[in-house]
């Protein structure tokens, strides 16, 4: 027992100081894209055509990127052609689907719940997480939020085992045919009022499975979404920032 106590004293306090102090992210982290607007029309067209998931679009005003479709690929062809670079900005969540599409304008981040919902959930939010056919990457990074570094519980947010105990649902995965009814049944079991969160490119737009006949293209036309968390998968700090913005704690 004494050796355990000594080790705990040696390790000290391991919980991060986010959101008071900004996180230190590795150099290889791929955050909010920065688009190049100095390309010729032909270069813009070629860059947009090079994205395998149609996340990059060529408009008369310049390039636009849809973060709901973007997989933040390590070998992004548009990045290799100089059309964009990835910044260290981990703040990616939005409240509306259309806000995920942007060019060089200021990115519109997620807004908090209305006053009635904040009064209900602002101090205690219980979420039921549903993996609707995901690859487990989003699920793994969400699981990390329960570790002592992030300590999601200190903000009054918890993942629960039963939808009957939940205030909302957090969905990952593209919603495969085999999971669609289970997802809708879980949502129906949550008492109203309730919130819906789409986490990851799959839940938002189908991700790499967007053209599959065995998967739905996300949950947008199945459930009313209150919060979008882009990424493939979203970094734990991206998800934590999103949840805190939803509860007006950022």
What residue spans define the domains of the chain?
Answer: 115-246
Which DSSP state fits 211? T
pTM of the predicted model, to two decimals?
A: 0.93
As beta bridge partners, residue 101 has 66
CATH number of 115-246: 3.40.50.12280
d(CA 178, CA 214) in angstroms, rounded, equals 9
Residues 83-141: tens digit of each pLDDT: 999 999 999 999 999 999 988 778 999 999 999 999 999 999 999 999 999 899 999 99
Output the pLDDT for position 2: 84
Task: Identify the pLDDT of residue 226.
Answer: 97
Q: Looking at residue 5, what is its pLDDT?
A: 81
The answer to whether residue 242 scores a pLDDT higher than 90 is yes
Using CA atoms, how far apart are residues 127 and 198, in angstroms rounded to an integer? 12
Average pLDDT for 8-25: 85
Residue 106 DSSP code: P
| 28-79 pLDDT tens trace | 999 999 998 888 888 889 999 999 999 999 988 789 999 999 999 999 999 9
Is residue 8 scored above 80 in pLDDT?
no
Phi/psi for 237 (5° steps) reads: -70, -30
Look at residues 93, 76, 95, 81 and name the one whose alpha carbon lies nearest to residue 40: 81
């Amino acid at each position: 027992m004494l050796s355990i106590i000594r080790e705990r004293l040696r390790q000290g306090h391991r919980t991060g100081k986010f959101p008071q102090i900004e996180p230190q992210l590795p150099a290889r982290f791929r955050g909010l894209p920065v688009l190049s607007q100095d390309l010729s029309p032909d270069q813009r067209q070629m860059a947009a055509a090079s994205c395998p998931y149609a996340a990059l679009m060529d408009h008369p005003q310049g390039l636009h990127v849809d973060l709901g479709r973007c997989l933040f690929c390590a070998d992004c062809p548009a990045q290799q052609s100089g059309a964009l670079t990835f910044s260290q900005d981990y703040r990616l969540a939005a409240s509306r689907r259309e806000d995920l599409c942007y060019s060089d304008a200021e990115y519109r981040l997620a807004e908090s719940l209305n006053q009635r919902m904040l009064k209900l959930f602002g101090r205690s939010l219980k979420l039921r997480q549903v993996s609707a056919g995901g690859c487990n990457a989003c699920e793994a990074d969400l699981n990390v939020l329960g570790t002592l570094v992030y300590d999601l519980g200190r903000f009054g947010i918890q993942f629960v085992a039963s939808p009957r105990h939940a205030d909302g649902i957090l969905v990952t995965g593209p919603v495969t045919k085999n999971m669609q009814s289970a997802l809708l049944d879980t949502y129906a079991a949550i008492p109203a009022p309730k919130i819906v969160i789409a986490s990851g490119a799959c839940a938002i737009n189908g991700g790499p499975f967007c053209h599959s006949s065995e998967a739905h293209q996300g949950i947008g036309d199945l459930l009313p979404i209150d919060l979008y968390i882009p990424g493939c998968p979203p970094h734990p700090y991206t998800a934590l920032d999103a949840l805190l913005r939803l509860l007006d704690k950022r």
